[in-house]
């Protein structure tokens, strides 16, 4: 049997003194870019019960970001919404299942993902280390903003009840759920699974699997840049965003997760600022983080916080 | 019983003949960033039917070999991985690994970029033009190329993937073992109507939008049904089935198991990527003579 994972693991990531100033500046730059949203019906994917649209909006550096947007065909005048955030290698799915549960659903393809890679395409592998020595041009600077702009898109939709927005995702989607819940107070409930992008520098010692292994590859070739890499990643580490989270949140991790080490999951959860937070650690599970058992918990969590106000 | 098209053999013989008209003309480019003390990684460009230039990642262990090899046939996603996410990088110290992007996937997306969802129904109304006819040829070409490596032990060649792994092993000799997780081409039309989940939902979307082409799509899919390929598989096979009660569970795959004439093991998913992944790693290691599996497992899976 694998060794037990310490629940009191403490990440060695330090929060830069100008962390908030850095992100305030990024948000200021983003705010200057009009969203310029375009909503295009997709008759091929639309069915009797779910309307499907392709959505495009503009984000930081004027990069055009694609998303899938689904609406229940039968819905209230203003409905709750879920934003789904994708895994590292995943092609963002059409979130029909969320629409069937009664939510308006947006599935974002941040820059570099399929359908959002015309202006920015570092490739996979490579995204994780793209400009990793410079926080001002690091790949995830725009990538994070792309997801936060999804909230702006939802808030602009007349059919969305802006007081009932939730965010969900696993792996990279879990990490993005953390950063989005932290930076967008409009998020009223969040569910993060097996969060990636949390405890980067811990993870590269705890595991030697891709995608984190991209950083080890980079440092093997450029050992002299370690301090710069560590410095950049501190601005993007979900653990440093966590204390800003105020909304109710559930998190699930797999104790045999070979992709996102469970130690970093514990370290992250312990730093989440919300008082209404719950961690579900699943023994005997890897990067699935117990999804088969946990999905009902997530459904109930969102239903109680978002659907019940109807 | 599956209705195998009368010209099934001819259809695939023609496909392979078209492939044979184009030599692979491989280029191997070392990638220092992804090379380690225990393995060297190469980016490989090679030609497939069309002609179309493909891309793959080939990792060769340090040492003299011969080494067992794992061929990761094209996945149903845009991204091409060096080794599957979550696999310990150290696996590259014991196995040659080769992962291939079929046409349309990243690094093989010029001039054709595949969409996900979308690829499964691309050209499905005409069996001669269906995109997967070329992608199957791509996958065969990948295995062909791997088998040319002098470092490889031809007695230990594992093909890992979805339906394409089994189809590739059926169409071409050289694979000694197969680890396959059916998802696309097993009773496709029949199972699609029982789910709303992609990728099979693509079939439902297509049939709903183009009802006049539904029968043509069904005819095309008959050329790809795993049951029709099963008698051609000689490799020892591990079928990764879905969890009990799901579309591809052990019970559901029984007709496929019965059609396979090779030695077959069925692992029904325990809905844990750890337990299922560990099972597959152990199965491959046992058959490839890897005696120190613990060393090449992910840290969180080791005893």
Residue B165, domain member (yes or no): yes
* Residue A53 domain flag: yes
Q: Which residues of chain B have a CB within 8 Å of the CB of A90?
A: 77
Q: Are A41 and A124 in contact (CB under 8 A)?
A: no
Whether residue B55 is contained in a domain is answered as yes
Query: Within a domain: residue B39?
Result: yes
Q: Which of A257, A287, A288, A294 is catalytic?
A: A257
**Which H or E element spans position A201?**
helix A200-206
Is A87 among the domain residues? yes
DSSP state of A196: -
Question: Of B89, B197, B301, which has the smallest distance from its Cβ to A2's Cβ?
Answer: B301
Would residue A2 count as lying in a domain? no
Instruction: Judge if pTM exceeds 0.90.
Output: yes
pLDDT the model gives residue A3: 84
pLDDT tens-digit series, residues B151-205 = 999 999 999 999 999 999 999 999 999 999 999 999 999 999 999 999 999 999 9
User: Is the Cβ pair A124, B90 closer than 8 Å?
Assistant: no
Domain assignment present for B179:
yes
Residue A69 located in a structural domain: yes
Cα three-residue angle B133-B134-B138, rounded to 5 degrees = 125
Residue A26 covered by a domain: yes
Contact in structure between A287 and B301 (CB atoms under 8 Å): no
Distance in angstroms (rounded) separating the CA atoms of residues B299 and A3: 9
> ipTM for the complex?
0.96
The answer to the question of residue B166 being in a domain is: yes
Say if A5 falls within a structural domain.
no
Contacts of A83 (CB under 8 A, 6+ apart): A105, A106, A107, A108, A147, A150, A151, A154, A165, A166, A167, A168, A180
Least CA distance to A68: which residue of chain B? B117
Per the residue annotation, which of A59, A107, A170, A171 is the catalytic one?
A171
Query: What is the CATH number for A261?
Result: 3.40.50.1820
Q: How far is CA A156 from CA A30, A35, A159, in A?
A: 16, 10, 9
**In Å, how far is A261's CA from the nearest CA of chain B?**
8
Domain that holds residue B146: 8-288
* Cα B213 to Cα B132: distance, rounded to the nearest angstrom: 17
- Report the DSSP pairing between strands B39-48 and B52-61: antiparallel
Q: Is residue A14 part of a domain?
A: no
Number of structural domains in chain B: 1
Profile chain A (310 residues) by mean pLDDT over runs of 10 residues.
89 98 98 98 97 98 98 94 98 98 98 95 96 98 98 98 98 98 98 98 98 98 98 98 98 98 98 98 98 98 86
Q: Can you tell me the distance from the alpha carbon of B187 to that of B199, in angstroms, rounded to the nearest whole number?
A: 14
Q: How far is B31 from chain A (nearest CA, A)?
A: 11
In this complex, do B299 and A208 lie within 8 Å of one another by their Cβ atoms?
Answer: yes
Domain count, chain A: 1
Asked whether residue B202 is assigned to any structural domain, the reply reads: yes
pLDDT for position B3? 85
Contact A66, A116 (CB under 8 A): yes
- Written as six digits, the tokens of B76 are 């149903």
Percent of chain B with pLDDT over 70: 100
d(CA B223, CA B127): 8
Q: In terms of residue numbers, what domain contains A98?
A: 19-307
| Pairwise CB contact (< 8 Å): B81 & A124 | yes
Q: Which residue of B has its CA nearest to A100?
A: B196
Nearest to B271 among A94, A262, A292 (CB): A292
Nearest Cα neighbor of A198 from A178, A224, A219 is: A178
Cα–Cα distance, B114 to A273 (Å, whole number)? 42
Between helix B8-20 and helix B131-147 the angle, nearest 10°, is: 60
CATH label of the domain that carries residue B139 = 3.40.50.1820
Tell me whether residue B298 is in a domain: no
What percent of chain B is modeled with pLDDT above 90? 99
The mean pLDDT value for B203-208 works out to 98
pLDDT score of B1: 64
Measured between beta carbons, the chain A residues lying within 8 angstroms of B198 are 93-94
A67 is a catalytic site residue: no
Count the Cβ atoms, other than its own, within 10 Å of residue A292.
Answer: 14
Does B117 sit within 8 Å of A94, measured CB to CB?
A: yes
> How much is the pLDDT for A309?
56
Distance of CA B113 to the CA centre of its chain: 19
Residues of B in contact with A256 (CB under 8 A): 272, 274, 300-301
Q: Is residue B297 one of the residues assigned to a domain?
A: no
Nearest CB to B79: which of A115, A124, A221? A124
For residues B303 and B300, give the distance between their C-alpha atoms in angstroms, rounded to a whole number. Answer: 8
- Answer for the pair B166, B178: CB distance below 8 angstroms, yes or no: yes
Instruction: Determine which of A73, A91, A129 to mutate to test the interface with B (most B C-beta atoms within 10 Å).
Output: A91
**Residue in B181, B192, B195, B185 with CA at minimum distance from that of residue B220:** B185
| Listed residue (B114, B147, B149) closest to B132, CA to CA | B114
Closest-CA residue of chain B to A5: B300
Residue A237 among the catalytic residues: no
Alpha-carbon torsion, ordered A21, A27, A28, A32, to 10 deg: 170
- Is A124 inside a domain boundary? yes
B12-28: per-residue pLDDT in tens? 999 999 999 999 999 99
Q: B89-104 pLDDT, tens per residue? A: 999 999 999 999 999 9
- Residue A171 is a catalytic residue: yes
- Name the minimum distance, in Å, from the CA of B104 to any CA of chain A: 11
């Amino acid at each position: 049997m694998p060794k037990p994972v310490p629940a009191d693991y403490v990440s060695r990531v330090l929060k830069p003194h100008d962390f908030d100033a850095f992100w305030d500046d990024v948000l200021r730059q983003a705010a200057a870019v009009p969203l310029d949203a375009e909503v295009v019906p997709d008759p091929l994917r639309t069915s009797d019960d779910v309307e499907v649209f392709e959505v495009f909006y503009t984000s930081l550096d004027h990069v055009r970001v694609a998303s899938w947007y689904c609406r229940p065909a039968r819905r209230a005048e203003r409905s709750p919404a879920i934003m789904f955030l994708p895994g590292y290698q995943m092609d963002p799915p059409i979130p029909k299942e969320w629409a069937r549960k009664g939510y308006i659903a947006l599935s974002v393809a941040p820059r570099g993902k399929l359908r959002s890679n015309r202006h920015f395409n570092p490739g996979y592998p490579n995204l994780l280390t793209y400009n990793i020595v410079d926080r001002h041009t690091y790949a995830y600077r725009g990538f994070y903003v792309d997801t936060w702009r999804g909230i702006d898109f939802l808030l602009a939709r007349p059919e969305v009840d802006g007081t009932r927005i939730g965010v969900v995702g696993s792996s990279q989607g879990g990490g993005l759920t953390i950063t989005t819940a932290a930076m967008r107070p409009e998020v009223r409930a969040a569910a993060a699974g097996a969060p990636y992008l949390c405890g980067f520098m811990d993870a590269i010692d705890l595991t030697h699997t891709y995608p984190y292994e991209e950083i080890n590859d980079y440092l093997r070739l450029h050992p002299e840049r370690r301090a710069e890499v560590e410095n950049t990643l501190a601005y993007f580490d979900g653990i440093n965003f966590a204390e800003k989270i105020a909304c109710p949140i559930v998190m699930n991790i797999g104790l045999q997760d070979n992709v996102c080490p469970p130690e970093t999951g514990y370290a992250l959860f312990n730093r989440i600022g919300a008082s209404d937070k719950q961690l579900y650690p699943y023994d005997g599970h890897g990067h699935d983080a117990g999804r088969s058992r946990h999905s009902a918990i997530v459904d109930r969590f969102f239903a109680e916080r978002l659907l019940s106000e109807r | 019983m599956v209705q195998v098209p009368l010209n099934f053999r001819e259809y695939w013989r023609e496909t392979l003949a078209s492939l044979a008209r184009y030599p692979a003309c491989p280029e191997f480019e070392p990638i220092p960033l992804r090379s380690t003390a225990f393995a060297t990684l190469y980016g490989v460009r090679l030609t497939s039917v069309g002609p179309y230039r493909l891309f793959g990642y080939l990792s060769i262990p340090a040492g003299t070999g011969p080494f067992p090899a794992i061929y990761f046939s094209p996945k149903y996603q845009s991204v091409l991985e060096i080794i599957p996410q979550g696999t310990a990088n150290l696996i590259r110290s014991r196995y040659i690994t080769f992962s291939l992007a079929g046409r349309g996937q990243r690094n093989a997306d010029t001039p054709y970029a595949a969409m996900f969802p979308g690829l499964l129904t691309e050209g499905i109304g005409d069996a001669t033009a269906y995109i997967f006819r070329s992608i199957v040829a791509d996958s065969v070409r990948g295995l062909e190329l791997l088998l040319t490596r002098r470092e490889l032990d031809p007695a230990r060649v594992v093909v890992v993937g979805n339906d394409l792994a089994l189809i590739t092993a059926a169409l071409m000799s050289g694979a000694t073992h197969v680890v396959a997780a059916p998802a696309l081409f097993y009773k496709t039309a029949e199972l699609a109507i029982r789910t709303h989940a992609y990728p099979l939902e693509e079939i439902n979307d297509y049939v709903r939008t183009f009802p006049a082409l539904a029968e043509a799509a069904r005819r095309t899919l008959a050329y790809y049904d795993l049951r029709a390929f099963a008698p051609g598989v000689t490799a020892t096979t591990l079928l990764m089935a879905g969890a009990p009660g799901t579309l591809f569970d052990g019970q559901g795959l029984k007709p496929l198991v019965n059609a396979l004439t090779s030695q077959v093991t069925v692992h029904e998913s325990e809905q844990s990527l750890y337990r299922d992944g560990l099972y597959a790693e152990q199965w491959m290691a046992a058959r490839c003579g890897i005696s120190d599996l613990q060393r090449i497992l992910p840290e969180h899976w080791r005893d």
